[in-house]
Chain A
Amino acid sequence: MNTTVNLSNAIFKPFVVFIVLCAIVLVSCDDDDPEKEDAPELITKVTLTFTPTGGGDPVVATATDPDGEGVQDMETDGPINLAANTTYTLTIGLTNELATPGTEAYNVTKEVRDDDDDHLFFFSWTENFFSDPAGNGNVDNRTDPVNYEDFDEDGLPLGLTTSWTTGDGASGTFRIILKHQPDLKTASSSSSVGETDLDIEFEINAVE
């Protein structure tokens, strides 16, 4: 009986010491500041550049959301004033201005281009605004015409660069949707497939 008690004590005393040591460990902690993360998926600025293929000044429109997921709304400028009956090359630039300029996180366009087999831009516009492509775009129907100028390695379109010819003078809206379609992008994957990375709309005019 006594021996058990002694044995218990023999085990118990180091245990008490251990608890005290633990308590000391608790008090010491590191106070280092956390590392800052790049946020390459965050897009705070979208730039549309319409460059006339026959030469002349490009037309630029932007959408900006400086606080990302903060409460402030995105703002779009515009309207996009194009010349009637003119062919333009549209290039889309995506930027994360919360990141440091020059870093990978800053240039989201490159991210999208590098990952072209998972991404696809969709476009829609007021019916017959353009003479080429005709119609109202491929948001409602993937097979409707859009003149893509860039393609992934499977020959499927991407849409960072596209070609547009305006018709006679008109005004309307121009909408761009960027879909993230990981393992889902096919020749028929529609605008309802995948996650939306971008969905913006501008007023657009073709001036004679």
Chain B
Amino acid sequence: MQSKRAKLLLLALQLVCGLLYAQPPCESALTGRVVDENGSPLFGATVFLSPGNFGTITDNEGSFSFMKLCPGKYTVAIQYVGYHGMSMRIDVDGQTVRVFELQEDVTRLDEVVIEHHDPANTEHATNFTELTGRELAKTAGKTLGETLAHLAGVNTLQSGPGVFKPIVHGVHSQRVLILNHGIRQEGQQWGAEHAPEIDPLIASNIVVIKDASAIKYGSDALGGVIVINPPPLPETGKFDGTVSTVLQSNGRSGTLSGMLQGGLKDRDGWGWRVQGTVKRTGDFETPNYVLTNTGIQEANFSAATGYHSKNAGLDLFFSRFQSEIGILRGTAINSMDDLLSAMERDVPLYTRDFSYTIREPRQEVTHNLLKLDGHISGMNGEWRMQYGFQDNHRLEFDMRIGDLSKVPATNLRLKTHSVDVEWETHHSETRTLSFGANAMFQENRNVPGTQRIPFIPDFDNITAGAFATSSLFYDRWTIDAGLRYDHRTYSVRGFDFKNSLYRSSMDFGSVSGSLGVSREIARDDVARLSLSTAWRPPHVSELFSLGRHQSVAAIEYGLMLNESTNEVMDVDDVGVSPEQAFKAVASYEINRERFSLTVSPYANYIRNFVYLRPEGVTRTVSGVYPYFRYKQTDALFIGVDADASMTLNRHLTAKSGVSLLRARDVDNNSYFLFIPSNRYSIDLHYERPEVGALRSVYLETRGQYVQKQTFSPRVLTVREITQQEEDSDPFEEDRSIFDFTPAPDGYFLWNLAGGFSVDAGKVRYDFRLSVENLLNTRYREYTNRLRYYADEVGRNFAVSVKCNF
């Protein structure tokens, strides 16, 4: 049915484009093979032949053929993502056979190797999307969150123009697991304004697994897993590198990034790489005003070395991420009256001229990662082991009395050790089986001296788990199954509202499981279905939070706090249950010569979903505050992601993406806050392999329409709350979740970009010029926590130059 429609569509397009298939009866043929520099076949490369406008895609041997050609001169144009396109004149006479070798782009796309998976054993039934090569290069200079937002089903939870957290299928923070170089990223993810501490320029490909089937990576991944993969280390004496720079007009930002890699002479197998990025951004600007104090400074560095032989490998990796981020000055709120005036004004308070200076409120974050991993294979299978150490240090500076502004209001240090061991057997060609275990020890400490009662307590977290996964290949079927058990212990020490010490400890344990089935249908179509269940113990912040957190005019109380006395309750008296998700993701993929389509509906039912609910107002000496309490409910997330791509002619490709989502609080018949609204995009990409001395010349445009979020909670304005009679409770009648303002209107954004490459001997330069928000549209995004106070950023011109040597 769908393929029939696709064919009709294709046919219609061919008519529109005036592509004629009628050819004179000729008997010559061109057969070819597309390979990379090492002679390995490239599967799925597009090959065009003109005159005649024939097109095809290489098979898994890298082969293609054009039959029934008239003898004569033809131009063959070949394109493959991550490689330079090539165009060549050839004579076809009789049976002509040629091999075409493509030069790799340095940011080469490697096959979807989910870290530590044998490429041959990548989980076939997994629903994933990925960013690679040039797609990644497009977002150079952006944060990881912004980079990921280019993927279907991924959005961001924003706190201003510099803080982006990925949202996968509607959920974020602890519910999205990020694997950086195979290690679970452990930072202070609980905070909505705490972005992942990862330099996206470190990656050669980023994969988002959306069906929780990545059972090897542990608990918590109710929404999905984001896998950030580095390129493999060089294994020969070859030496190369890149230097790239990005300049952006909005925020007047500059990013400089460099990478060097190579091997050791006469020591095949050894490889090394160093990489670094520095970035400086000033205040961002909306179409009408400056967003004062939104600058960013970042300095990142990483180094890797390793040895690889045919049967074994050992890698050592270190990375350091360091950033300082300003939070919009106009959001520093200390009372409901301040909040009221901040929300009701058009231009945020304290808006000043552009500056690079970062003042309070601001964050300073450092994240160090050290990783050692190895694998060794024998006759029966392969052992893999890795150890990771992460040291995350987060300082938050608020507007405070006198010299206290120089003293961090939050000063948290999180140290995480993790060990992963896996054994994978190669039973047969039709079955694989692997077993593994993970252990993690984590200690989170408030560094003394903040002169404020800590918002979250000190804690130790010991987590251990074990898993088994298996894949079966039978005819056109692939079946994956996985099962794991995890146990977590928290040991907590903190101070309550009276500033007196409490201690608490608790245990959680549960099972995760997944079952995925995929079937190849027709020639290149695939249908997949995966069912999984995953769990997540509530985080310490959700259990013990007390007070106010940076730039939020609301007091938060954790699940463990007594509702009338504020005291920390005994574990046995509180019914805290872990979240348990039941997720189904289906997808259907159609791949035709010039057309591909993936439609992926999903449903995620999360029991005991933890969220913040308004409970009342409390009067303090500085005014009236609403207070929120962590509560648990049952939540249902239903959505569809769809992507289509069509080759209109040998130069022009069109892509379209649709992402729909609806999230409900099932128990309270209500909606949640900051759930991404429906969005639709269209991309047009025009490319010529050669124009004069320029290579890979392209021009592209993207239009994105974001609908207004209609599935949003009720509105209760700050004015309504503050005008309540004294001693009355504005939430007495209705304790359901609310929003301070209605959801912002939908908006349309238009981007334009173009670029080309120049070969100068052994050096290649890639140039790119782009404009984002071309129409300088004034808009607010529902998933930005600063939407109450300020508009989104306006037009942005960016120039990037990358030098590959």
Contact = CB atoms under 8 A, between A and B. Distances in A.
Most central of A65, A68, A74 by chain B CB within 10 Å: A68
Interface of A: 1, 4-5, 7-9, 11-12, 15-16, 18-19, 22-23, 25-27, 29-31, 33-44, 46, 63, 65, 67-74, 98-99, 105, 111-112, 114-115, 118-119, 180, 182, 184, 192-193, 195-200
Given A7-B309, A18-B387, A33 B350 contact: no
Contact of A118 (B312, B332, B402): B402
A195 B350 contact: no
Most central of B333, B403, B452 by chain A CB within 10 Å: B452
Given A12-B374, A69-B548, 18 more contacts: A7-B307, A8-B314, A8-B376, A11-B307, A11-B312, A19-B385, A19-B387, A29-B460, A33-B493, A34-B494, A36-B499, A36-B501, A63-B621, A68-B620, A71-B557, A72-B566, A74-B621, A195-B338
A41 B494 CA distance: 19
B497 A68 contact: yes
A34 B495 contact: yes
Contacts, number: 184
B93 interface: no
Nearest to B464: A26
Interface in B313-364: 313-314, 332-335, 337-338, 341, 349-350
Most central of B453, B457, B616 by chain A CB within 10 Å: B453
B620 A69 contact: yes
11 contacts: A19-B419, A31-B460, A34-B458, A37-B495, A40-B401, A43-B621, A46-B621, A65-B619, A69-B555, A70-B618, A73-B619
Interface stretch (B223-231, B439-447, B582-590, B668-676): B439-447
B98 interface: no
B621 A36 contact: no
Contacts of A193: 349
Contacts of B310: 1, 4
Contacts of B563: 71
B68 interface: no
Nearest to A201: B726
Contact of A34 (B312, B448, B616, B625): B448
Contacts of B314: 8, 11-12, 15
A26 B419 contact: yes
B564 to A, nearest CB: 7
B417 interface: yes
Given A18-B387, A19-B387, A5 B547 contact: no
Contacts of B508: none
Contact of A70 (B440, B451, B452, B497): B497
A1 B777 CA distance: 63
A183 to B, nearest CB: 9
Nearest to A21: B387
B622 interface: yes
B311 A4 contact: yes
Interface in B593-646: 616, 618-623, 625, 627
A199 B622 CA distance: 5
Contact of B441 (A29, A40, A184, A199): A29
Contacts of B625: 69
Contact of B311 (A5, A72, A98, A184): A5
Contacts of B620: 65, 68-69, 74
Given A5-B309, A40-B401, A69-B548, A196 B338 contact: yes
B618 A198 contact: no
Contacts of A12: 312, 314, 374, 376
A71 B495 contact: no
Contacts of B404: 40-41
B400 interface: yes
A65 B310 CA distance: 70
Interface in B419-446: 419, 421, 439-441, 443, 445-446
B458 to A, nearest CB: 5
Interface in B259-300: 269
Given A8-B312, A11-B307, A197 B334 contact: yes
Given A11-B314, A22-B419, A69-B546, A196 B402 contact: no
A18 B374 CA distance: 11
Given A15-B314, A15-B372, A41 B621 contact: no
A119 to B, nearest CB: 8
B337 A71 contact: no
Contacts of A199: 335, 337, 621-623
A180 B622 CA distance: 11
Given A26-B441, A112-B401, A67 B452 contact: no
A135 B538 CA distance: 55
Most central of B341, B497, B501, B557 by chain A CB within 10 Å: B497
A43 B495 CA distance: 17
A197 B269 CA distance: 64
B451 A67 contact: no
B399 to A, nearest CB: 6
Interface string B537-579: 0000000001110000001010000011010000000000000
Contacts of B564: 71
B622 A196 contact: yes
Contacts of B334: 180, 195-197
Nearest to B621: A43
A174 B241 CA distance: 70
Most central of B309, B491, B622, B625 by chain A CB within 10 Å: B622
Contact of B350 (A9, A114, A184): A184
A72 B60 CA distance: 69
B691 to A, nearest CB: 47
Contacts of A115: 401-403
A98 B499 contact: yes
Contact of B618 (A37, A69, A99, A192): A69
A118 B446 CA distance: 28
List of 10 A-B pairs having minimum Cβ-Cβ separation, nearest first? A8-B312, A115-B402, A195-B334, A26-B441, A196-B335, A70-B566, A4-B309, A35-B448, A70-B497, A73-B619
A99 B499 CA distance: 8
A24 to B, nearest CB: 11
A111 B337 contact: no
